[in-house]
Structure 1
Amino acid sequence: MQLQFWSGAGVALGIAILAGLAEHRRRKRRNLERVGWVPWMAIQMAGLFAALVLASVALHAG
């Protein structure tokens, strides 16, 4: 059971990292008119929060 929580935390952390990279790429764009519609910062924060909660549950489940 604990391995599932750690795996979920790893996946959530991976999503947060990918969203952070996408946000960095969006900020460094050449054409300032092409803003995009995906809220990468919100996705990154949600991923980090999910990783924190899942890691906390995994630590307490053991």
Structure 2
Amino acid sequence: MLVRSLGFEYKQEQLRVLIGDNGKGFDQTLLSLRTGQTSMQQRADAIVAQLRVRSEPCQGAPLQLVVNT
């Protein structure tokens, strides 16, 4: 994954970390044997954050991490 954009927003007592990439993307409806997304979700859960991943094949996989402060 090559990071195409990285952004931070803080408003209404929420920190948002936005990461855009120009990777291959993936079909979110298909199960995967890889553990990357599961690991990221476990880490987000550990800090009581919300992780959102939107991806489609050939469209990259932008991530948004939201932490209430």
TM-score under structure 2 normalisation?
0.27
Q: Larger RCO: Structure 1 or Structure 2 (Cα < 8 Å, ≥ 6 residues apart)?
A: 1
TM-score under structure 1 normalisation?
0.30
More strand by share: 2
Structure exhibiting the larger radius of gyration computed from Cα positions: 1
More helix by share: 1
